[in-house]
Structure 1
Amino acid sequence: MNAEPKLPPQAAVEDTATQALAEAMRTSFVVVRLLLIGLAVYFLCSGVFIVKEQERAVILRFGKPVGTGLEALRGPGFHWAFPYPIDEVYRIKAVKVQSAASTIGWYAEDARRNAAGQETPVNPTLDPMRDGYVLTGDRNIIHVRAILRYSIEEPLEFFFNHSNAYFAVTNALDNAVVFAASRYNVDDALRRDLAGLQDLIRRRVEATTARMNLGIKVQQVDLVTAPPRQVQDAFEEVIKAENKRGEDISVAQGYAAEVRSRAEGEAAARINAAQAAAVRFIESIKSDARYFSELLPRYQANPTLFSEWLQTEVLARALTNSQEKFFLPIRTGPGQRELRLLLSREPQKLKTTLTPPKTEGHQH
């Protein structure tokens, strides 16, 4: 057998170094592969985020929302997005009804006293540097506090098209309070038409926020108005006087209505009575006309006889119930007539009524 050739010592050392290098490179490749896999897993897992029940989330990809409208909102649960700086998660409080309070128009209050249920002391005069107020259309000063309740219908417009949408809503409410107060006089704003003032503020806020593209929907406006506290007593006296005036007017109107109703009833009764009397009078005239028309031929035939008959008829009707009748014939010659009456005698009985001759359709 031939013996294997022996390598020189230097070549053996180089071969050992090469094997060690190859082994180190293989180990490095494994470590790099594991690192890359770990980085990929970390990259993917870092994009997972959780949205709480009281939150909503919007994913911004390179600064722009992913999705439009309500579709851009991520609800409660697990979600995934590319890690920063590709995607950014913007969280929003999921409050269905938001509220905003006016920052003008109300007098300064002491928070500690209010918390204790105490009234803030009244200053002798209104301080414009501390106390808010608005002017009415008749140039009077009143205090107004408004609470706006609204819902966010377009969250992308509300949160991403304005640097501070909440502040914009408050400004719109303050503008509406000043605008509406200037359209009302002090009595209407405080007592007579508070609902109208409240509605005008609501409509003004709706118009302003729509013009600003805030993407909200007004739900309700709660309103409180008050006169300056320095003249509160004077306002109460005016209210009492107006209430008394209203009561007096109501009493007077009730009395006027009663008198008018009674007068109308009496007038109607008199008109009805007059119409009935007119009908009776007309019928009586017609009856008399028919009666005289029927008697006219008899009179024309013998006026003397007709006159005697008519006289007899009249006397018969007139003397029907007379107890005593005395006839004095017409004196034909000179001299005096003597009438003797027996006064102390028994009274005579009444005779039955003598019915005069009647013509058809006439009562005389």
Structure 2
Amino acid sequence: MSHSHDHHHHSGCGCKPQGSAFEPQDAASKSLTSALKTSFAILKVIMIVLVVLFLASGIFKVREDEQALVLLFGKVQGLGDARVLKPGLHFTLPEPISEIIRIPVTKVQTLNVDSFWYFETPQEKLGQKNPFPPDYLDPIKDGYCLTRNDSILGLEGEDYNIVHSRWTITYVIDRPELFFENVHYRQPRPGEDFLDAASESINPMLESFASSAIVGTMVKYSIDDAVTSNRDISEKVKILLQKKLDALNSGLKIDGVNAERIIWPRQVDDAFQASIQAGQQSKTAVTDAYAYKEKLLTDTAGPEAEALLEKLKQPGLTQTQKEELVAQMKGQVQGLISEARGYKTTTVAEARANAEYLQKLLPEYKKRPELVLQRIYQDAIEQIMAKAEEKMFIQPGGGNPKELRIQINRCS
């Protein structure tokens, strides 16, 4: 019993120290595990927040004055019209997976084309006129364009189909996807405007196409038409220039083409001024003549005179039809017609009266012709004397010649 008791006592003493040694280790493990769980939870939250922020950075806004393209690994994303993003909020995968290309589409750009203008000194560019222009056109320094080679009456020389011109071209980027794919341009630097960077490529290309369109258009006009038909020429240049840009699928739209000035060479200015003045005088004379014709016709036959005259010129009209057309005329012609009819009536009546009078005298004339002639002579003298205001009778001179002098007063 004693052995058994001792053994039990020994065993009990040995267990107590072993349990007390592991208790701190279990607490540390639990603490570590709890800390790791907390850390992983925090890390998970952070990762979720980062993912959300990353995805949220793909939300972007397209302004009202622009449209946008999204590049996914360097290629334009979307199909058809969906490739171009309109103004508003949009989402795409953030960089570097995607890239957003913003292109202004409402801002009008201006390009001045001065390659067809003559050389100007700094003073001339400021508006000062050169009193002594060069005697000859210098094709190396002076820009010019050729018109249709029509001869000009009264002018000699070979420079009369040459003109100088200045042009202004305005354009917009109308199709961003075509522009991006077919027009090379430099990427804008940070803070640099897109169009400022793109114009470095657009303007040289556009000026080249514009020059070709201008040359192709101007050669179809005479120099007179060229200096007076700026609007028509500008429209033709615009159409031709747009065709060239469309053939390239450039995405550019020409907003307007304006021929600021089209003039002849300075060296022949005097001759052209004289020609223009003569032309203006000729046009004025023609206009005045036309106005006089209209007034004369209106005063003579009324406002429908010209139309009635054209009808009267038609062949095959009967006399009745002609009289009906004449009856429709107004104005002085009716008075003239009345006077003519009255004159006709009077003349016919006088002719009939004379005929009757001569018919009565005919039997007597056959019997005594000298007596009848003497009677006719006396009747004529009586009619003449009846109309005379003053009468003078001169007695015969008895065979002696007499001299008669009559003084006529200029004021009478």
TM-score range normalised by the length of the shorter chain: 0.5 to 0.7
Does the C-alpha gap of structure 1 residues 67 and 254 become closer, same or farther in structure 2, counting only changes over 3 Å?
closer
Q: SS where residue 246 of structure 1 aligns?
A: helix
Q: Do the aligned partners of 2:182 and 2:248 also contact (CA within 8 Å) in 1? A: no
Choose from 229, 240, 244 the match for 1:193.
229
Aligned partner of 2:212 in structure 1 is 175
Choose from 249, 270, 278 the match for 1:237.
270
Does the C-alpha gap of structure 1 residues 17 and 118 become closer, same or farther in structure 2, counting only changes over 3 Å?
farther
Matches within 5 A, 1:141-156: 141-156=162-177
Q: Do the aligned partners of 1:150 and 1:218 also contact (CA within 8 Å) in 2? A: yes
The structure that is helix-richer by fraction is 2
Choose from 52, 70, 84 the match for 1:60.
70
Choose from 33, 40, 43 the match for 1:29.
40
Q: Which amino acid aligns with 1:242?
A: S
Aligned partner of 2:192 in structure 1 is none
- Superposed displacement of residue 128, structure 1: 4.5
Does the C-alpha gap of structure 1 residues 99 and 68 become closer, same or farther in structure 2, counting only changes over 3 Å?
farther
Q: 1 CA distance for matches of 2:106 and 2:52?
A: 35
Q: Which amino acid aligns with 2:229?
A: D
Equivalenced residue count is 302
Gaps of 5+ in 1: 323-364
Q: 2 CA distance for matches of 1:94 and 1:217?
A: 10
- Superposed displacement of residue 59, structure 1: 3.8
TM-score (norm 2): 0.54
Aligned partner of 2:305 in structure 1 is none
Q: Do the aligned partners of 1:134 and 1:141 also contact (CA within 8 Å) in 2? A: yes
Q: Do the aligned partners of 1:144 and 1:177 also contact (CA within 8 Å) in 2? A: no
Does the C-alpha gap of structure 1 residues 27 and 117 become closer, same or farther in structure 2, counting only changes over 3 Å?
farther
Q: 1 CA distance for matches of 2:19 and 2:217?
A: 107
Give a deviation string over 1:267-324, Cα, whole Å, max 9, x none.
x99999888656554454556667889x79xx9xxx78x979xx99x969968x99xx
Q: Which amino acid aligns with 2:275?
A: E
Aligned partner of 1:356 in structure 2 is none
Does the C-alpha gap of structure 1 residues 79 and 119 become closer, same or farther in structure 2, counting only changes over 3 Å?
farther
Q: 1 CA distance for matches of 2:61 and 2:125?
A: 38
Q: 1 CA distance for matches of 2:176 and 2:295?
A: 68
Q: 2 CA distance for matches of 1:44 and 1:136?
A: 62
Aligned partner of 2:84 in structure 1 is 72
Does the C-alpha gap of structure 1 residues 8 and 64 become closer, same or farther in structure 2, counting only changes over 3 Å?
same
Matches within 5 A, 1:194-273: 194-227=230-263, 232=266, 234-246=267-279, 249=282
Q: SS where residue 245 of structure 1 aligns?
A: helix
Q: SS where residue 95 of structure 2 aligns?
A: coil
Q: Which amino acid aligns with 1:243?
A: I
Q: 1 CA distance for matches of 2:355 and 2:214?
A: 85
Q: Do the aligned partners of 2:92 and 2:98 also contact (CA within 8 Å) in 1? A: yes
Q: Do the aligned partners of 2:70 and 2:83 also contact (CA within 8 Å) in 1? A: no
TM-score (norm 1): 0.59
Aligned partner of 1:345 in structure 2 is none
Matches within 5 A, 1:282-361: 282-285=348-351
Does the C-alpha gap of structure 1 residues 193 and 70 become closer, same or farther in structure 2, counting only changes over 3 Å?
farther
Aligned partner of 1:89 in structure 2 is 100
Let me know the Cα RMSD of the aligned residues.
5.3
Matches within 5 A, 1:96-175: 96-102=107-113, 104-108=115-119, 128-138=139-149, 140-164=161-185, 166-167=202-203, 168-175=205-212
Q: SS where residue 176 of structure 1 aligns?
A: helix
- Superposed displacement of residue 137, structure 1: 2.6
Q: Do the aligned partners of 2:242 and 2:254 also contact (CA within 8 Å) in 1? A: yes
Does the C-alpha gap of structure 1 residues 292 and 65 become closer, same or farther in structure 2, counting only changes over 3 Å?
farther
Give a deviation string over 1:246-268, Cα, whole Å, max 9, x none.
35535765897799999999xx9
Does the C-alpha gap of structure 1 residues 155 and 276 become closer, same or farther in structure 2, counting only changes over 3 Å?
farther
Q: Which amino acid aligns with 1:193?
A: S
Q: 1 CA distance for matches of 2:126 and 2:82?
A: 43
Give a deviation string over 1:19-70, Cα, whole Å, max 9, x none.
46634542442243033113212212322335556x5241414122557559
Q: 2 CA distance for matches of 1:70 and 1:152?
A: 18
Does the C-alpha gap of structure 1 residues 35 and 257 become closer, same or farther in structure 2, counting only changes over 3 Å?
closer
Q: Which amino acid aligns with 1:178?
A: V
Q: Which amino acid aligns with 1:72?
A: V
Does the C-alpha gap of structure 1 residues 283 and 85 become closer, same or farther in structure 2, counting only changes over 3 Å?
farther
